[in-house]
Structure 1
């Protein structure tokens, strides 16, 4: 009985998150509502509110369900190759609907909703940052990066231009742009520097 109820609950959760992504893509985040998701998913709005306190929280879970392992770091032994491969995967994810446009909306929502901001940081941004810094640390320990280079700063330098272009200028993120960022960064933090 409990197993059947758990399967039904998981199925209901998946349907609600899938519907959230579909509706978000169709009508945009601003027009998205818990009521509209409930109606299309065939769920009660109270069912949704029991699991998610806001549409921002619902969107966050829905988006995170899309990427699970897409952004894991490779470890080829070459930090530049690994960063390039991981960042390509990240910008490719952001370039395709529904993730990109809805992620932009979620970051916007995080500016007004402290709970969404904290959850986004805890569940997506901080884990990705930690993975990047860990990969940079390993490369530093292997002599591929300057010993004294601040790895948290390296992370900020890597992500800043990407977020600026993605959120502020809305210019497309391309592999060529990533290559320019990496070339510039590694010119300053190679093993012969700092």
Structure 2
């Protein structure tokens, strides 16, 4: 990617790619359509990104960073509920449509296959850091595998959202966390 990108054109290209992917799907989104929608030439896009997946990955990273940050109130259950609820709300937007398309395309598109785990790794690392802090404060079991805990917490979101197995009620993550947290929390000392 060129260091001399025009920021206004960059934003227009990312926004156009998001609009098109959200409305027509990943497979139907083309560089030609993105260029037309953004009011730039295809050569401008190809000078900055190797593919539509690369454009969408850059946009997803930026949108995720501003929408799915991890709170730290000192109460791990409340923080997980806030963060997972925010993730589910983000998945209900155009972000979710683009993310779903990229996850599907990662099965056959090399750039998506490299970008999806990178996006996930950032989110996983943030969650692990918050869980480690709660573990250090005695809120979570000392022997808890934090990477496994992340999978247990977010697995239900991805399962229901990606596979569309059932409607997801507004209190979905409250129910998930109420069920899961006893297995993750440190036992209380009873006399």
Scaled by the length of structure 2, the TM-score of the pair is 0.89
**1:30 aligns to what?**
27
The unaligned stretches of length 5 or more in structure 2 are: none
Task: Verify the 8 A CA contact 2:60 2:95 in the aligned structure 1.
Answer: yes
SS in 1 for 2:67: coil
* Alignment pair present for 1:119 and 2:115: yes
Question: Structure 2 vs 1, CA of residues 171 and 101 (structure 1 numbering), >3 Å: closer, same or farther?
Answer: farther
1:161 equivalent in alignment to 2:149: no
Aligned: 1:189 with 2:189:
no
What SS does the aligned partner of 1:69 have?
Answer: helix
Runs of 4+ that moved beyond 4 A: none
- In the alignment, the residues of structure 2 paired with residue 130 and residue 83 of structure 1 have an alpha-carbon distance, to the nearest angstrom, of 14
Cα RMSD over matched residues?
Answer: 1.9
Summarize the Cα distance change of 1:73–1:168 in structure 2 as closer, same or farther, 3 Å threshold: same
Gaps of 5+ in 1: none
Number of residue pairs matched by the alignment:
186
| Cα contact 2:84–2:154 (8 A) shared by 1 | no
Larger mean CA deviation between 103-112 and 161-170 belongs to 161-170
Residue 104 of structure 2 is matched in structure 1 by 108
Instruction: Identify the residue that residue 82 of structure 2 maps to in structure 1.
Output: 85
1:135 aligned residue: 130
The more displaced of 48-57 and 168-177 is 168-177
Contact 1:91/1:174 (<8 A) preserved? no
Aligned with 2:59 (options 37, 62, 72):
62
1:144 counterpart = 2:139: yes
Please give the secondary structure, in 2, of the residue aligned with 1:68: helix
d(CA) in 1 for partners of 2:99, 2:117: 13
Q: TM-score, normalization: structure 1? A: 0.88
Confirm whether residue 177 of structure 1 aligns to residue 172 of structure 2.
yes
